[in-house]
Amino acid sequence: MRGPHRVAVAISLIGIAFGSVVIGDGGTIGRTPIVVVIDAGHGGKEPGAAGQSGVLEKDIMLAVARRIALEAVRYPNLCIVLTRMDDRFLKLTERIARAREARAAVYVSLHANAAADGTARGVETYVADKAHDEEGSRRLAEALQEAVVIATGSRDRGVRSASLYIARASMPAALVEVGFVT
Ligand SMILES: [Zn+2]
């Protein structure tokens, strides 16, 4: 996976843009902060995908999530809430509950792909089937996909839909596969 720093900046900016639309403050500095929940996929007993070098999806996603939180310090109207800040297992329902408690405007789940073919590259973003906010989620996914593809210079594998737990999020929600650990 290339450019975690650039991925973090891209996602932070999309968070601001989207949150502004959702909460309708036009992104004005000094107003109510836009809460963006960043969910680092997996954790604890659930490692996610593994690369040949032994690198684990759960660790990379935590690093990217932390980087987003650091980047966001530069944007006073953006408040990043991480579902986990360390290597711990969280149920999917707990992740969604955290977003609800934080009154998040946007929910972004971070994952990485794995493929038997080690040359597989690229970024893809998922919208949940039957998403609570279907239109908002699709627009969020399209914006994230474009931004992360530009930030990484990686292959555009497109916006896809799947049956995902993020359907339960009441705010626009998307899941980004930011690259391949393989
Ligand atoms: Zn994953």
Ordered domains of the chain (ranges, CATH):
4-180 (3.40.630.40)
Pair 75, 16: CB distance under 8 Å = yes
The yes-or-no verdict on residue 21 having pLDDT over 80 is no
Please identify every residue whose CB atom is under 5 Å from ligand 1, which is an ion.
Answer: 41, 48, 111
Look at residue 84 in the predicted model and tell me its pLDDT: 96
User: What six digits make up the tokens of 63?
Assistant: 């690093």
pLDDT tens figures, 113-152: 988 888 889 999 999 999 999 999 999 999 999 999 998 8
**Ligand 1 center to residue 57 CA distance, Å?**
7
Predicted model pTM: 0.91
pLDDT tens figures, 44-65: 999 999 988 889 999 999 999 9
**Ligand 1 center to residue 141 CA distance, Å?**
16
What are the Cα distances from residue 122, in Å, to 19, 22, 88, 145, 182? 26, 29, 27, 10, 11
**Ligand 1 center to residue 164 CA distance, Å?**
11
The yes-or-no verdict on residue 162 having pLDDT over 60 is yes
Residue type for 165, please? Y
**Ligand 1 center to residue 56 CA distance, Å?**
10
What are the Cα distances from residue 155, in Å, to 79, 118, 128? 30, 14, 22
**Ligand 1 center to residue 39 CA distance, Å?**
11
Contacts 24+ apart (CB under 8 A), 2-7: 2/152, 2/153, 2/154, 2/179, 3/151, 3/152, 3/153, 4/60, 4/63, 4/64, 4/67, 5/67, 5/71, 6/151, 6/152, 7/64, 7/67, 7/148, 7/151, 7/152, 7/178
Q: What is the mean pLDDT of residues 3-15?
A: 82
**Ligand 1 center to residue 125 CA distance, Å?**
12
CA distance 37 to 173: 9
CA distance 5 to 14: 14
**Ligand 1 center to residue 156 CA distance, Å?**
18
**Ligand 1 center to residue 113 CA distance, Å?**
7
**Ligand 1 center to residue 109 CA distance, Å?**
9
**Ligand 1 center to residue 46 CA distance, Å?**
9
**Ligand 1 center to residue 105 CA distance, Å?**
23
